[in-house]
Structure 1
Amino acid sequence: MNSLRRMLDILNLFKPGQPVIDVETICSQLGYAQASAYRYVRELSDVGLLVRLPRGYAVGPRVIELDRHMTEYDPLITCSRDLLDELVARTGMHALISELYSSTVINILQKHGSETEPLNFGRGRPMDLFRSATSRVILAYLLPRQLKRVYESNAAEPNLQRLGPTWKDFSRAMLTIRKQGYCVSAGELDPGKTGLAAPIFDEKSRILGAVTLVGSNERFAAFSQDYLVKLITNAAATITARIAADQPTS
């Protein structure tokens, strides 16, 4: 398992400023022995997760195949698609489904609203753990030991410090969100935009992700916040119920 994790960690090296990697990159950034790096890239290439190029290795075609499968069949997406359409129709805002994996929150489904300005963090882009309504509403529902681990791993992060300079302050801020059942943030990821998020749970009532509405501050202010909160929390509750019943709608 440790060897598999080390091999898959190579995929974390890909980023906008580093679309191609080579064995030297792997060894220098992950500290792997050259023989191990060569073995890992060979195995990842064999299953299509990497592709060999003249300058090194890029993300392979298997990722596109998996993305298509996820888009068409992932339960969280199929349970959410029609509800996002309804949220967009009622508000004109962008609607998002985001999911938690490890310590990363990423948007997996986005329905565009009537506003033409794109979001900085649309589908496929990891989000800061502490700077958005989406991330914070997910953090708030982690188990206490998970939340404490996140805090201890990121205690020096300025964005975490804004939520609470001590563990006690931070956990109290998360408890407030949990009691509300939703979270609002303004201008934290996209200047001039407000986000409103509610949690989605799996069949065992564990936090799975979030549904979020994002719109310009002006559009958001044109609605009663109570109305928007009811929309988003009802959507989250419906998705949670569908997940538990394993009843996708498309």
Structure 2
Amino acid sequence: MAISRDTGDAPKRQKVQAAEVGTDILKGLADLAPATSLSRLAEHVGMPAAKVHRYLQALIASGFAEQDAATNHYALGPEALFVGLAAIGRLDVVRAATPHLSALRDELNETCFLAVWGNKGPTVVQVEQPLRAVTLVTRVGSVLPLLGSSTGLVFNAYLPDGETAPLRAEEAGMPGALDDDELHKQTTEIRATGLHHVHGLLMPGVNALSAPVFAVGEQLAGVVTVVGAASAFRAETQGRAAELLKEAAAAITARMAGTRPA
């Protein structure tokens, strides 16, 4: 008579399946960020709402998700942010840019940040704040408009049209978005100068100056931006700030491409 033995494989498979479901729900929370209802999340991940709710409770208990008491909507929790920041820190462009961002901040005493292209558009991944009593708050994880920010317009100028077209269509007609003629004009200028400046486009009274950084094969790796109050920071494509920003962008590009800056 053959005797069957429980090898323990079934419990292991169940644990793996539970981990996969939990990961899918975390991805769903990220896709629907900043927050979403239970019904919308369940529809997005293709699971029964009761099952999603059960997993959300476990994720909340571990700090990977959280629920707003006022709206009952769900969002990624602090532990998910910690893991995300750790992953961001492994990006070559962040490592390459950080010392140059710090040096640029020290030279200009203005907020300097690096943005990369994320699943929702230009996303801030590194920020260096100036040493002053009042600063402009730019947070890691912030998503900037494509057509309504200096950073976004530089991404639009250098990324393949297929990557930016859906977001352009989404933002068309929104406050601050450029029409087709003005967008074409600014895109041409950005490619010619390697810089872009705006005065109060995203926020009244705030100026910004942006430059692209590239990786091997001249692929856009990110955009470095300096922002400051209009009363003190002159965001022009000529002048000391522009020269220092271009030097920083060139140094980051050289590091990413494995070459020496020109």
Pairwise same-fold verdict (TM > 0.5): yes
Q: Deviations over 1:199-240 (max 9, x none)?
A: 011222122211111122232249994221111111111111
**1:121 aligns to 2:134 (yes or no):** no
Partner of residue 198, structure 2: 185
- What are the residue-to-residue correspondences of 1:143-162 with 2, within 5 Å? 143-160=160-177
**More off after superposition, 228-237 vs 95-104:** 95-104
Please name the residue that 1:63 is paired with. 80
- How much has 1:74 moved relative to structure 2? 2.7
Q: Higher relative contact order at CA 8 Å, sep ≥6: structure 1 or structure 2?
A: 1
Alignment coverage as a number of residue pairs: 234
CA shift for structure 1 position 171:
2.6
Q: Which amino acid aligns with 1:182?
A: L
For normalisation by structure 1, the TM-score amounts to 0.75
Q: 1:45 to 1:147 in 2, by over 3 A?
A: same
Tell me the distance in 2 between the aligned counterparts of 1:238 and 1:199: 11
Contact 2:212 2:224 survives alignment (8 Å): yes
Give 2:243's aligned residue: 230
- Alignment check: 8 A CA contact 1:26 1:37 kept: no
After alignment, is 231-240 or 66-75 more displaced? 66-75
Residue 228 of structure 2 corresponds to residue 209 of structure 1: no
**Is the radius of gyration larger for structure 1 or structure 2?**
2
Bigger mean CA deviation after superposition, 69-78 or 88-97: 69-78
Q: Give, in angstroms, the shift of residue 32 of structure 1.
A: 6.6
Q: Percent identity at matched positions?
A: 21
What is the identity, as a one-letter code, of the residue corresponding to 2:32?
L
Q: Please list, as runs of the form range in 1=range in 2, the aligned pairs for 1:10-29 lying within 5 A after superposition.
A: 10-15=29-34, 18=35, 23-27=38-42
- CA distance in 2 between partners of 1:107 and 1:44 (Å): 30
| TM-superposed deviation, 1:159 | 2.8
Aligned partners of 1:183 and 1:196 also within 8 Å: yes
- Which residue number corresponds to residue 101 of structure 2? 84
Structure 1 window deviating more from structure 2 (30-39 vs 119-128): it is: 30-39
Residue of structure 2 in register with 1:240 after alignment: 253
TM-score by length of 2: 0.72
Identify the match of residue 152 of structure 2 among 132, 135, 156: 135
Please list every run of 5 or more consecutive structure 1 residues that lacks an aligned counterpart in the other structure: none
1:113 corresponds to which letter in structure 2?
P
Give the whole-Å Cα distance in 1 for the aligned partners of 2:108 and 2:240. Answer: 10
Counterpart pick for 2:51 among 38, 52, 70: 38
Q: Which residue in 2 is equivalent to 1:105?
A: 122
Q: How many angstroms apart in 2 are the aligned matches of 1:72 and 1:148?
A: 29
Deviations 1:71-129 (A, max 9, x none): 64332221112111211221111111111123411111111113433325332211122
What's the RMSD between the two structures over aligned residues?
3.7
Give the Cα–Cα distance (whole angstroms) in 2 for the partners of residues 91 and 215 of structure 1: 10
Query: 5+ residue gaps in structure 2?
Result: 1-22
Residue aligned with 2:239, SS: helix
Contact 2:65 2:80 in 1 (8 A): no
